[in-house]
Amino acid sequence: MDAPDTGRRPDMRTYGVPETLERPHKGPMDLPFLMLVVMLSIIGLVMMFSASYASALNDADTGYNAAYYFMRQGLFAVLGMALMLLISRFNYQFFRPLAVPLMAVSVVLLILVLIIGVERNAAKRWIVLGSFQFQPSEIAKLAVIVCFAAMISVYKDRMKTFRYGVLPFAAILGVISFLMYLEPHLSGTVLILGVGGALMFVGGVHWGWFAGLLGAGGLGVYMALTTDFLGRVLPYAMRRIEIWRDPFLDRQGSGYQAIQSLYAIGSGGAFGLGLGKSRQKYLYLPEEHNDFVFAIVCEELGLIGACIVLLLFAVLILRGYWIAIHARDRFGSLMVTGITTLLAMQTFFNVAVVTNLIPVTGMSMPFFSYGGTSLLIQLMEMGIVLAVSRQIPAPKSG
């Protein structure tokens, strides 16, 4: 239950106060959710290996080792599973006092990546420390979810006012979005704005303020795509929209990736070519083991196999929202809502890009795309959901 409203102005210190003084009920974790996560992780690891071994064999950086990407991803998957199970044993109130420090760390990292980050494809999104590399934007996503959940739990009915329900949240989203825009990382910006907006809506923001913020966000995206905003130009964004409308305008250039993706999907047919038998992964389709791994899923497993994968994602997302609805308190419910919404948005946008439903952008597929730190953080987020599920109040016996 929520603490009583004393009428005092909430301050940052109250974020560390539990919402209940009662000893939390600790039951078993939600097994359906756990099994779905494990199934998707295993299928994703197998498909990533199938999609990657051709390019790994052709890359000197991998030592021409076909299993290079698979072994690295597998290591992070095992570590992520261990951390997921460990976090699931925590009392999730542990994350409440971490809300502000986590947000501060994410802002610092987003600033650092602009200074010391490694540039790839005209974007600075990665910080490299020896053989370890990560995207600060992945940490920022989790920081927004935890921080917003903590703030909304404190503000409660004040969420309907501009001072508490709009201003602090808009300020946080503005800072994070601006720093990610400078990288530039438009797809990550859209994800963070979407998750932040969803939590504000669920948290009780008046629909009028929410509609205004949505309109302002849409205007900001339009300016980013069409104008020189604060000296930053994103010509590639408009070019991607043109190629999205007709990839064959530049079939050997900007449209090449979209065309090869559609070839992979089309050649899979209903039943697929068979596991490991993709043709497009032989250096035809760029990013075949990363952002476009779903195209290889369609080619090898066919329409039926791809639909089964999407069905598993859909059931996982629905189960996540079920846990959010039945959570013990508001803080837990909001965290699970944010994590599940992030998973849903990322899955939808990745599939939409691969099928050319929306313009090409750098959006990875959860559990499937290559990226060790991304997979690690995703599994840790699943651990938070499982931690919340362990404290769902037991049904009262008759």
The phi, psi pair for 342, rounded to 5°, reads: -60, -45
pLDDT of residue 213: 66
DSSP, res 39 = H
- Omega prior to 184 cis, within 30 of 0: yes
Distance CA 272, CA 298 (A): 7
Residue 285, sorted as left (phi over 0), alpha (psi -120 to 50) or beta, turns out to be: beta
pLDDT of residue 398: 45
Distance CA 110, CA 104 (A): 10
pLDDT of residue 308: 97
For residue 216, how far is the Cα from the chain centroid?
Answer: 23
For residue 254, how far is the Cα from the chain centroid?
Answer: 25
First to last CA, the chain: 23
Q: Could you tell me which residues come within 8 angstroms of residue 192 by beta carbon, excluding any fewer than 6 positions away? A: 137, 140, 141, 144, 173, 176, 177, 180
The count of other CB atoms within 10 Å of the CB of residue 309 is: 23
pLDDT of residue 234: 52
The angle subtended at Cα 182 by Cα 174 and Cα 175, nearest 5°, is: 20
pLDDT of residue 395: 59
pLDDT in tens, the chain (398 residues): 444 444 444 444 445 544 443 455 577 889 999 999 999 999 999 999 999 989 998 887 788 888 999 999 999 999 999 999 999 999 999 999 999 999 999 999 999 998 988 877 777 888 887 777 888 888 999 999 999 999 999 888 788 888 887 889 989 999 998 898 888 888 888 899 899 989 998 888 877 776 776 677 677 666 665 555 444 445 556 666 777 788 888 788 778 888 999 999 999 999 999 999 999 999 899 989 999 999 999 999 999 999 999 999 999 999 999 999 999 999 999 999 999 999 999 999 999 999 998 887 778 999 999 988 899 999 999 999 999 999 987 655 44
Look-up of token digits 């020896």: 130
Find the helix packing angle between 256-268 and 293-325, rounded to 10°: 80
Identify the three-state secondary structure at position 51. helix
The phi, psi pair for 126, rounded to 5°, reads: -120, 140
Query: Taking the model in full, what pTM does it have?
Result: 0.87
Answer whether 330's CB lies under 8 Å from 152's CB.
yes
pLDDT of residue 360: 77
The count of other CB atoms within 10 Å of the CB of residue 102 is: 20
DSSP, res 229 = B
How far apart, in Å, are the Cα atoms of 301 and each of 36, 161, 199, 291, 357? 19, 51, 36, 18, 20
**DSSP line for 183-225:** TT-HHHHHHHHHHHHHHHHHHT--HHHHHHHHHHHHHHHHHHH
The total number of residues shown for the chain amounts to 398
Of 383, 345, 296, 66, give the one whose Cα is nearest residue 198: 345
Q: Where are the alpha helices (DSSP H) in the chain?
A: 31-57, 68-88, 99-116, 136-155, 162-165, 167-181, 186-203, 207-226, 235-245, 256-268, 293-325, 330-354, 372-389
For residue 155, how far is the Cα from the chain centroid?
Answer: 26
Answer whether 110's CB lies under 8 Å from 179's CB.
yes
Measured over all CA atoms, what is the biggest interatomic distance in the chain, rounded to whole angstroms?
69
**Amino acid, res. 103:** M
pLDDT of residue 15: 53
